[in-house]
């Protein structure tokens, strides 16, 4: 006779929206750190979720699991990034299991551009050049 094994209950996932968002923020943070960015996560769901720094570039990253960001929030983060810190506003979102990044535009989601954090500062933007001059000057290389 065959032995009948009891059916195990299906695994119950945590569907708490705050926990899902926090896990996604940690995943985004770890991805950027792996690419060489210095990343700070804002506690308690403050705005923006992550601040990333590398070679004089500044990214303000808002993480949304579903990819939707309200227009008022969009305008606020873009204005903050451009005027206050002179950086870029980035939206991190998920498509299936893939983590995607997009540079936000103040207009609409249709105007957003794909963002690749691996090539930022390799293109030689003004902030990167200014950072390189400062860092070389501080080492006496000028």
Q: Which domains does the chain have, with CATH numbers?
A: 17-138 (3.40.1350.10)
Which one is predicted more confidently, 125 or 92?
Answer: 92
- Reported for 96-99, long-range contacts at CB under 8 A and 24+ positions apart, including other chains, are 99/27, 99/28, 99/31
Q: Give the model's pLDDT for residue 110.
A: 82
Q: Who wins on pLDDT, 4 or 130?
A: 4
Tokens of 43: 């506690």
- For residues 4-14, average pLDDT: 61
* Choice between 125 and 76, residue whose per-residue pLDDT is larger: 76
C-alpha–C-alpha distance, residues 139 and 104, integer Å: 36
pLDDT band at 128 (very low <50, low <70, confident <90, very high): low
- pLDDT over 70 at 77, yes or no: yes
Contact 65, 21 (CB under 8 A): yes
- pTM (2 decimals)? 0.75
pLDDT over threshold 80, residue 123: no
For the chain, give the percent of residues with pLDDT over 70.
74
């Amino acid at each position: 006779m065959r032995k009948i094994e009891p059916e195990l209950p299906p695994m119950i996932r945590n569907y708490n929206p705050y926990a899902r968002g926090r896990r996604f923020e940690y995943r985004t943070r770890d991805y950027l750190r792996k690419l060489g960015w210095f990343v700070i996560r804002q506690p308690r769901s403050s705005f923006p979720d992550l601040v990333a720094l590398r070679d004089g570039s500044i990214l303000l990253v808002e993480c949304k699991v579903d990819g939707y960001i309200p227009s008022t929030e969009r305008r606020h983060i873009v204005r903050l990034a451009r005027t206050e810190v002179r950086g870029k506003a980035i939206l991190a979102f998920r498509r299936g299991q893939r983590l995607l990044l997009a540079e936000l535009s103040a207009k609409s989601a249709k105007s957003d551009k794909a963002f690749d954090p691996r090539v930022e500062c390799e293109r030689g933007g003004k902030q990167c050049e200014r950072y390189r001059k400062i860092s070389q000057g501080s080492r006496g290389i000028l």
